[in-house]
Chains A and B, each alone.
Chain A
């Protein structure tokens, strides 16, 4: 603030001279702001988003200037987003589902600022949305689990019964069934995104019931650590969590926003930015699988081939026939599930031994 007012007063005194002297002023740079729901040090969702901010700053150091706000509670996010918009940002990434309405409200007040909202579905002329097809990674995990499980039972720690989580469970199951149709998936709902203690208890419960591989749709590394302690295996979430469990992590579904963030920023810089929705997957590099570790070479080769096939479109996780738990056909043979069906998924595929509350 002080620097700007000093600059302003200087400019008013020596305006003409200054304009001639200064070659590139700070205002020429595009200011890009990021709003995170968690701490950047969470080694998970917000951490991955901050990696993309750093990648952007490194890719165009002379064209952009980045700022971030971390730990922004969803209920209080409007103030934070407006603060960024007011401070001269040209592009603002709001990275949590709960920021949707606040982002739209602020966007209305600042029509010249461009907004990018992650995982939401409401857009405006200056608000784009983007998300990743995490379920593609879960399909690969399902295949690996089916190959490696000796007990034939896999544990799945789930957070909340929303379509993103349910479609993840289904994709995991379909991947597993493509290898071993009899694989059992035991699901424990912990009803939280982040509670290391509870996640560890859920992991213990699943391992005690004969699961020898754990998958999770919660954010802490506690289940991985529990698997490591008991000599079992697990999949990481959001970020590469190998450091927590070098003997247990098979792979991790990593969110990679770098390419998207840089491309959108470039579009703003050259004036080609328009409001649109992006739902990228493995093909777009938005979903990346961490190095395949702790598995034999043939399983690793299968996993790598699956990733390649999903990228090329040869394999579709929700390719028909897909049968619902109650026996009805959801996707006919030869067809694939349309995006709206995946985005609104509130049913299990056949073979899952759990009840979904309606």
Chain B
């Protein structure tokens, strides 16, 4: 492979990983607060539809991205009211949210099917972007990719370097104890859910504005579910979400390139590679922490109603 092809493959790996990174980080924060939101796919696909619609109407990718975030937040708010406010079952509400999101997105996007617009602009720094291999990879991505990486650092810093982050993690582990300390359990959980929705919406907007710049119903094609699985895979750590997304995105992209290169293996075998790689990584991870026990937030998925 020529350096150009290597650079192109590396750049597409990062592009394929970006929606998983962004949506995964959002879900990670919600789950760290103890709320399991299975509606990532629904919020993501709504973000894609609304983001694309807003971008077409306004002509601005930024407005589209913000609208996508808004759509995710709105759906997450409905989920938050149900599960945090009314202590409804989180699994059932999350599944309902996915179905609702898929339906709503079809409705919101109906008028925009078949339209096309230019993809989000890529960064271009004269001199730097033209460097071989590293140039396009480090200095030639679109805004969403940088936003995703910045988000990973931000979330990591927030959860382990701030007092609020500590409180959030404590709530995810023991809401009753944090409540008795006078900390706002339900408000924090609600905000964490909203943050998760914002990220899922942004990830969806990335798909319809940058990755494949058009809207088609159900275009997320299961990426929301993969993001959910990534959070578990990453044992609720932001850095590992990024690593897992790059691993999964990389395996997906590389097997397509391997097929195009014609290495003589049936495509169906190669298609299984991303999943095999994920299983292998999971085994290695669990071997490494044999004495540690579960890393999930202790109160994940459990609702909390303060006694009055």
Hey, which bits of chain A sit against chain B, CB under 8 A? 38-39, 41-43, 71, 155, 158, 161, 186-192, 194-202, 204-206, 208-209, 211, 220-222, 225, 229, 243-244, 353-357
Contacts and interface: CB of A to CB of B under 8 A. Distances in A.
Nearest to A188: B259
Nearest to A39: B217
23 contacts: A39-B113, A41-B106, A41-B114, A43-B113, A189-B268, A189-B271, A190-B271, A191-B267, A196-B207, A196-B219, A197-B212, A197-B221, A198-B221, A200-B212, A202-B259, A211-B260, A221-B214, A225-B116, A225-B213, A243-B114, A243-B116, A355-B264, A356-B266
Given A186-B260, A197-B212, A357-B269, 16 more contacts: A39-B218, A42-B113, A42-B216, A43-B216, A186-B259, A194-B218, A197-B207, A199-B212, A201-B12, A201-B252, A205-B257, A205-B260, A206-B260, A209-B261, A222-B212, A222-B214
B211 interface: yes
Looking at A161, A201, A209, the one whose CB has the most chain B CB atoms below 10 A away is: A201
B223 interface: yes
Nearest to B213: A225
Contacts of B217: 38-39, 41-42, 71
Nearest to A211: B260
Contact of A204 (B8, B213, B214): B8
Contact of B257 (A191, A208, A356): A208
Nearest to B267: A189
Contacts of A43: 113-114, 216
A254 to B, nearest CB: 15
Interface residues of B, number: 39
B228 interface: no
A183 B117 CA distance: 34
A198 B223 CA distance: 11
A149 to B, nearest CB: 15
Given A41-B113, A204-B12, A209 B260 contact: yes
Report, nearest first, the 8 A-B pairs whose CB atoms are least far apart. A189-B267, A195-B221, A196-B212, A205-B260, A41-B113, A357-B266, A209-B260, A205-B257
A225 B8 contact: no
Given A187-B267, A222-B212, A198 B252 contact: yes
B277 interface: no
A208 to B, nearest CB: 5
B247 interface: no
A140 to B, nearest CB: 24
B82 to A, nearest CB: 25
Counting chain B CB atoms within 10 Å of each CB, the highest count among A205, A243, A353 belongs to A205
A192 B253 CA distance: 14
A201 B268 CA distance: 16
Contact of A244 (B16, B114, B211, B266): B114
Contact of A205 (B19, B113, B219, B256): B256
A188 B256 contact: yes
A354 B264 CA distance: 7
Interface in B264-308: 264-269, 271
A138 to B, nearest CB: 19
A186 B261 CA distance: 8
B260 A208 contact: yes
Nearest to A219: B216
A201 B259 contact: no
Contacts of B9: 208
B237 to A, nearest CB: 25
B274 to A, nearest CB: 11
A220 B211 CA distance: 13
A221 to B, nearest CB: 7
A353 B257 CA distance: 15
A188 B116 contact: no
A356 B265 CA distance: 9
Contacts of B257: 205, 208-209
A205 B8 CA distance: 9
Given A197-B221, A244-B116, A208 B8 contact: yes
A222 B221 CA distance: 13
Contacts of B5: 208
B216 A220 contact: yes
B91 to A, nearest CB: 21
Nearest to B109: A41
Nearest to B268: A357
Interface string B11-35: 0100010010000000000000000
B259 A189 contact: yes
Contact of A201 (B16, B106, B110, B264): B16
Contacts of A190: 256, 271
B260 A161 contact: no
B126 interface: no
A41 B108 CA distance: 12
Interface in B199-233: 207, 211-214, 216-219, 221-223
Contacts of A198: 221, 252, 256
A41 B8 CA distance: 33
A225 B214 contact: yes
Interface string B151-175: 0000000000000000000000000
A305 to B, nearest CB: 31
Nearest to B13: A201
Nearest to B219: A196
A41 B49 CA distance: 13
A354 B211 contact: no
A197 B260 contact: no
Contact of B211 (A186, A200, A208): A200
Contacts of A38: 217
A204 B106 CA distance: 28
B124 to A, nearest CB: 16
B267 A188 contact: yes
Nearest to B5: A208
Interface in B82-118: 106, 110, 113-114, 116
